[in-house]
Amino acid sequence: MSKGNRSLDIIDESFKDKIVDIDRYIVEVQTRVLTALKHGIKFSSTLERSREYLSKRINTKVSLAMLYADLVNSTVMSNTLPVNKLATIIQTFAQEMTLIVYAYEGYVLKYVGDAVIAYFPTGKNYYLACDTAVECSLAMRNILREGINPILSDRDYPELQIKIGLDAGEHAIIQYDKEIDIIGYPLSMASKISEIAKPNQILISNNIYQPLHPRLKEIFKRVENTRLLYYTDNRGEGYKLYGT
């Protein structure tokens, strides 16, 4: 589908298809986190799903909505927490963020320190991919606030915060020996956008904002951007950012 005007009929049906019952999901999250704190976590997230998708597209370009989710203050925690507690927190964060990406039919590319990098292919429906990436980011924040943090705080763990940046556009799929990676401007920008987000804020580029469903657009407001002014988006315009 092109990135022209959206049909509201198409929007409504596609939008509904990607909604996850977040209240029910949070209960499942709390059960997993409780188990992890009591018995230790067996990190069960896998990147094989992403590898299978990328392996079919090596040396090609694909359009992706990128999501960069960064855990706040992990460096401070590393200086104040025993290593076993720190490991439990970071592994729990990574696993739960990964599982919600999968629930929204996205892919997790990799983990970089305490950050989770995910993507949503836009080839079949650019609008739906942007909607889904944003819905996933909102779910991530809700899961942290309502699913993970209440369990952590009850057991003398620090509560967690997240910063999320999103951008979309073309990427090259490159193989290095046995590793397959994504190279692209929007991936780099999603990382830069997450860096300037406030704790528990979701920041999205104009590439994500413009195609969004009207219901999602209402959540975001234009924010002042002084650090990315000299970058241009895939429309050749200066980077505009919108935040929750």
pLDDT at 165: 98
Confidence grade of residue 6 (pLDDT, cut at 50, 70, 90): very low
pLDDT at 105 over 80: yes
Query: pLDDT (tens digit, 9 = 90+) per residue, 149-168?
Result: 999 999 888 899 999 999 99
pLDDT at 144: 96
Number of domains in the chain: 1
Tell me 14's DSSP state: H
Cβ(1)–Cβ(124) under 8 Å?
Answer: yes
Whether residue 165 is contained in a domain is answered as yes
pLDDT at 44: 65
Model confidence, pTM: 0.88
Q: What is the 3-state secondary structure (H, E, C) of 103-133?
A: HCCCEEEEEECCEEEEEEECCCCHHHHHHHH
Domain that holds residue 14: 8-37+46-243
Average pLDDT, the chain: 88
pLDDT at 227 over 50: yes
Q: How many helices (H) and strands (E) does the chain have?
A: 10, 8
Whether residue 1 is contained in a domain is answered as no
Whether residue 54 is contained in a domain is answered as yes
Whether residue 142 is contained in a domain is answered as yes
pLDDT at 11 over 60: no
Whether residue 2 is contained in a domain is answered as no
d(CA 151, CA 37) in angstroms, rounded, equals 9
d(CA 149, CA 237) in angstroms, rounded, equals 39
CATH code of the domain in which 165 resides: 3.30.70.1230
pLDDT at 114 over 80: yes
